[in-house]
């Protein structure tokens, strides 16, 4: 059922910072409001890198709330702020970094091996010309599980160009279902950074996050596909010839890179069953482990199932399978596997730092008493936590553009509202879904994804707002609505 915010808790007896001027809860709320405003200002106006902005604001909030920075017992000791920074960063990354790293390498092997092309081609043949938009949507949905949103666009855009050019219809009719599938998996399902980071903060098993992500995400993406079909018939956009040429050049560059790495093109395409098996293996193993802990009594068999269903183990198995089935078995050298895997990790550093800084922000909010003051205030407002989580995430998303920043910041604020409330793992997973849904609301000009969609598919800014921005809002609202309804019975 809906649960309101946590019962009032007394703030810790800090005396420094703004509390010296504004006492009690009022001072802590002032620190919170100024901290969030400063964070948005630094990211939006100053254009400061989000990791640096989150780290700096965490320090300011901690000091403003009165955390100690003085020498203790006559010896220079680590201050409260420094200790919280280290524990906050380490606590979240210890859970997240391995999963994101393994998932990124898995996606890279699937991408370079041609698995995406095989998947989309088979779906297009299966559904036929009339249902090509649905095939595009399913391609985005399935291939979006192991790869990041921007990588999915890069790999799958040429297929959209070909389908739209062949039909003579608006490219919006084909790209929007694809984008909806990629966006849904990016927001709702591990191993993507947002849901994994939130699960780490809330200490929720990834099996429940996957299950609730599917329950909330599938109806949401169906609603988004419905809007895509409607808007695709009302806005006509031709296939951008310059992007078609750029895509061909990109493919040639990838082929050259593969050749340099010693990856020889295989005569036959990757079997579709192999692609689906590799993508599905970690999801099935993690879900089996989650349900075994509920349905089975403690036993050796249950321990084995839970071991193989540990996210670290499950993703490692899937990655090793991809190495063999998509790599070594098809003529790749070990050097090629290393090259592709290593190069895929280059963009991950920024993501991990932002996620870690979000963990720092949450730890400082909690340790300084700011989170307790926020909990008191939100409790008095009377909004259910799941509604509040979505609204906070929406505000942060619309204000600064980054879905990952919106998720980790909102999770840090909402975490104290659920601690000690006795909420079940499924209910906490639904709150994570609400946060994730809010993080994709109304993608507009301050979001890099907006410009990627506009430029990759040759859509004007005005038409991108009408199509992509509204599509993301439909996905967000529908996903939240399902999460809220399911929370009534979980």
Residue 72 has pLDDT above 50, yes or no: no
Task: Report, as an integer, the average pLDDT of 305-311.
Answer: 92
**The predicted structure's pLDDT at residue 15:** 42
Task: Report, as an integer, the average pLDDT of 347-365.
Answer: 80
**The predicted structure's pLDDT at residue 11:** 43
For residues 152 and 397, the answer to whether their CB atoms sit within 8 Å is: no
Residue 268 has pLDDT above 70, yes or no: yes
If pLDDT is split at 50, 70 and 90, which confidence band does 74 have?
Answer: very low
What are the structural domain ranges in the chain? 96-188+235-344
Nearest Cα residue to 362 out of 381, 348, 380, 375: 375
Nearest Cα residue to 349 out of 50, 15, 44: 50
366/418 Cα distance (integer angstroms): 12
Residue 78 has pLDDT above 60, yes or no: no
Give the pair of three-digit tokens for residue 57.
Answer: 């604001």
Residue 290 has pLDDT above 60, yes or no: yes
More confident residue, 91 or 213: 213
**The predicted structure's pLDDT at residue 10:** 43
If pLDDT is split at 50, 70 and 90, which confidence band does 20 have?
Answer: very low
334/440 Cα distance (integer angstroms): 39
Residue 8 has pLDDT above 50, yes or no: no
**The predicted structure's pLDDT at residue 248:** 62
Q: What is the pTM of this model?
A: 0.80
Residue 18 has pLDDT above 60, yes or no: no
**The predicted structure's pLDDT at residue 76:** 41
Give the pair of three-digit tokens for residue 259.
Answer: 């050749």
**The predicted structure's pLDDT at residue 439:** 95
For residue 384, what are the β-bridge partners? Answer: 4
- From 60-74, 432-446, 452-466, the region with the lowest mean pLDDT: 60-74
Question: Which of the given ranges, 180-194, 284-298, 370-384, 442-456, has the highest pLDDT on average?
Answer: 180-194
HEC readout, the chain:
CCCECCCCCCCCCCCCHHHHCCCHHHHHHHHHHHHHHHHHHHHHCCCCCHHHHHHHHHHHHHHHCCCCCCCECCECCCCHHHHHHHHHHHHHHHHHHHHHHHHHHHHHHHHHCCHHHHHHHHHHHHHCCCCHHHHHHHHHHHHCCCCCHHHHHHHHHHHHHHHHHHHCCCCHHHHHHHHHHHHHHHHHCCCCHHHHHHHHHHCCCHHHHHHHHHHHHHHHHHHHHHHHHHHHCCCCCCCCHHHHHHHHHHHHHHHHHHHHCCCCCCCCCCCHHHHHHHHHHHHHHHHHHHHHHHHCCCCHHHHHHHHHCCHHHHHHHHHHHHHHHHHHHHCCCHHHHHHHHHHHCCCHHHHHHHHHHHHHHHHHHHHHCHHHHHHHHHHHHCCEHHHHHHHHHHHHHHHHCCHHHHHHHHHHHHHHHHCCCCCCHHHHHHHHHHHHHHCCCCCCCCCHHHHHHHHHCCCCHHHHHHHHHHHHHHHHHHHHHHHHHHHCCC
């Amino acid at each position: 059922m809906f649960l309101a915010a946590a019962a009032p808790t007394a703030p810790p007896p800090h005396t420094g910072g703004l509390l010296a001027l504004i006492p009690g809860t009022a001072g802590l709320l002032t620190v919170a409001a100024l901290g969030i405003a400063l964070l948005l200002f630094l990211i939006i106006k100053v254009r400061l890198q989000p990791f640096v902005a989150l780290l700096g604001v965490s320090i300011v909030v901690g000091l403003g709330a009165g955390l100690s920075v003085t020498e203790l017992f006559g010896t220079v000791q680590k201050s409260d702020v420094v200790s919280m920074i280290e524990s906050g960063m380490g606590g979240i990354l210890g859970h997240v970094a391995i999963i994101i790293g393994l998932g990124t390498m898995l996606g890279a092997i699937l991408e370079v091996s041609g698995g995406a092309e095989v998947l989309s081609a088979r779906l297009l043949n299966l559904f036929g010309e009339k249902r090509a938009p649905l095939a595009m949507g399913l391609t985005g949905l399935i291939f979006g599980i192991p790869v990041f949103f921007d990588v999915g666009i890069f790999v799958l855009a040429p297929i959209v160009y070909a389908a739209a050019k062949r039909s003579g219809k608006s490219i919006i009719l084909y790209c929007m279902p694809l984008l909806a599938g990629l966006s849904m998996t990016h927001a709702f399902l591990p191993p993507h950074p947002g849901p994994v980071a939130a699960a780490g903060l809330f200490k929720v098993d990834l099996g429940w996050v996957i299950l609730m992500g599917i329950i909330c995400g599938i109806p949401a993406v169906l609603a988004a596909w419905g809007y895509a079909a409607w808007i695709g018939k009302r806005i006509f956009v031709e296939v951008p010839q310059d992007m078609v040429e750029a895509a061909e050049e990109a493919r040639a560059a990838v082929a050259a890179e593969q050749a340099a790495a010693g990856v020889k093109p295989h005569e036959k395409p990757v079997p579709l069953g192999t692609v689906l098996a590799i993508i599905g293996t970690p999801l099935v193993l993690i879900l089996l482990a989650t349900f075994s802990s509920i349905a089975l009594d403690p036993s050796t068999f249950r321990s084995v199932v839970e071991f193989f269903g540990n996210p670290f183990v499950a993703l490692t198995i899937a990655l090793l399978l991809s190495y063999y089935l998509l790599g070594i078995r098809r003529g790749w050298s070990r050097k090629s596997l290393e090259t592709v895997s290593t190069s895929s990790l280059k963009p991950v550093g920024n993501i991990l730092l932002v996620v870690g800084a979000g963990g720092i922000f949450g730890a400082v909010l909690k340790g300084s008493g700011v989170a307790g003051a926020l909990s008191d205030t939100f409790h008095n407002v009377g909004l259910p936590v799941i509604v509040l989580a979505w609204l906070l995430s929406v505000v942060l998303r619309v204000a600064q553009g980054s879905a990952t920043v919106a998720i980790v910041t909102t999770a840090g604020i909402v975490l104290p509202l659920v601690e000690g409330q006795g909420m079940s793992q499924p209910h906490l997973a639904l709150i994570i879904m609400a946060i994730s849904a809010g993080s994709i609301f109304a993608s507009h000009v301050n979001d890099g994804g907006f410009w990627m969609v506009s430029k990759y598919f040759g859509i004007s800014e005005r038409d991108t707002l009408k199509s992509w921005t509204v599509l993301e809002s439909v996905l967000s609202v529908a996903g939240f609505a399902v999460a809220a309804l399911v929370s009534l019975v979980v």
